[in-house]
Amino acid sequence: MTLSGTASSELITDDWRIHGSVYTSADVFALEQRRLFHGPWLYVAHESELREPGDYKTTFAGTQPVIVTRGSDDGRIRVLLNRCRHRGAAVCHAESGNANYFRCPYHGWTYRNSGELRGITYDDAYPELDREALGLVALPRVASFAGFIFATFADAGPTLEDYLGNARSYLEIVAGQGEAGIRLTAGSHRLAYRGNWKLQVENTIDNYHFGFVHRSFLDVLADRIGAAPPIVQNIMNNPDWRTIDLGGGHSVHEFGDPHTGNNQGQLGDLPFNLIIFPNLCFVGAQVRHILPKAADRTEVRLYPIMHEGEPDEANAAILRVHESFYGPAGMGGADDIEVAFDRVSDGLGAVEHDWLIMSRGVHREQPGENGTLIGHAADEVPQRAFYRQWKRLMEDAA
């Protein structure tokens, strides 16, 4: 498949220049939906969001709206397309709820929360309808790892564990953050911007920007502690802070030991930032789910990670730290939206020389265990990890 005459392979050069259309083209976006979001495993929920039979939440698999449900009688997790089989209305509207049956708001078609069509209003008008074939469409495979639920549109392919590969041990560490595990019961807050979804993925592990975009945050921090905060020095000079291409498009930035590291920046206590290809991230004290909407439109849902088995005061403190940097009135998130998303999207409007440079530190990437590549904390290792997999999938035969 070509993109208006340009092959995907021509959009990323051997010396790591990325063509601007990767972020702006509707054709690229459409192909991403077929290759990146229709086959690979996609994150949909955490088990703590669906604890009781009948619990459900609404979210997206790529651009497709889905309902994640826990079966009323069998407790099984299913992922169903949120689209009435009659005239296409989204059957569920609430972000989350508990219901053993769903009733479409348009004409009242009613489904079990396992998907089967249970009934139709005034059904004598449909003497020949094959009701058994008209359940909500289920994604064929759903699996969970360390409490994180993923689904795929592919009938066959790698297991979730194989797909996660070297990222598994990091997900297990996230799952063990609390005394008795974690829960995403604080809900989410959302941000939206007019720009490409990959800008948020790339910005999740980009230590290079921190001292520039978040200068005002660092100044406030310096006033509080009476000295320059150590985070920028650590990024530039601490050999234990490192970025790693985990393979499969996944990447991580470790703040030292992945079990005990600390970002020393009052950003939340996760000992690393982690990207699970294509659109799930962990940063600070949050799960960050990035929802592509169009080439130039993105929604991001941020779920603070609560610690199970710890006092309310401890969890309240997690929320306050999270809000102080990432919240709507926080000192960091708004800067990222303005500079890393809005300003980049503005600049990409200049197309005379339409290339970005993603080669920082490529000469000093070192091979690690299990096929990983290890680089400097401020290098563009995570971005290249992402685009190696992006290129592989985009070039696959249709």
**Whether the Cβ atoms of residue 292 and residue 312 lie closer than 8 Å to each other:** no
Cβ-based nearer residue to another protein, 98 or 264: 98
Of 74, 73, 68, 72, the closest CA to residue 47 belongs to: 68
192 part of the interface to another protein, by CB under 8 A: no
Tally the residues of the chain: 398
128 part of the interface to another protein, by CB under 8 A: no
110 part of the interface to another protein, by CB under 8 A: yes
Cβ-based nearer residue to another protein, 53 or 158: 53
Cβ-based nearer residue to another protein, 108 or 309: 108
Cβ-based nearer residue to another protein, 60 or 102: 102
364 part of the interface to another protein, by CB under 8 A: no
160 part of the interface to another protein, by CB under 8 A: no
Q: Binder to another protein among 4, 5, 15, 125 (CB under 8 A)?
A: 125
Instruction: Give the whole-angstrom CA distance, residue 270 versus residue 280.
Output: 15
103 part of the interface to another protein, by CB under 8 A: yes
**Whether the Cβ atoms of residue 220 and residue 324 lie closer than 8 Å to each other:** no
Contact residues for 32 (Cβ-Cβ < 8 A; gap 6+): 292, 390, 394
222 part of the interface to another protein, by CB under 8 A: no
Cβ-based nearer residue to another protein, 81 or 104: 104
Question: What is 132-179 written as a DSSP string?
Answer: GG-SPPBPSEEEEETTEEEEES-SSS--HHHHHGGGHHHHHHHHTSST
Instruction: Give the whole-angstrom CA distance, residue 394 versus residue 398.
Output: 9
Site for another protein in 267-306 (CB under 8 A): none
Q: Binder to another protein among 4, 5, 88, 122 (CB under 8 A)?
A: 122
Taking the alpha carbons of 314, 315, 317, 321 in that order, is the dihedral positive or negative?
positive
Q: Binder to another protein among 7, 76, 106, 108 (CB under 8 A)?
A: 108
Site for another protein in 44-63 (CB under 8 A): 53-54
Strands 148-152 and 141-145, how do they pair? antiparallel
123 part of the interface to another protein, by CB under 8 A: yes
Interface with another protein (CB under 8 A): 53-54, 72-73, 92-94, 97-103, 108-110, 112, 118-125
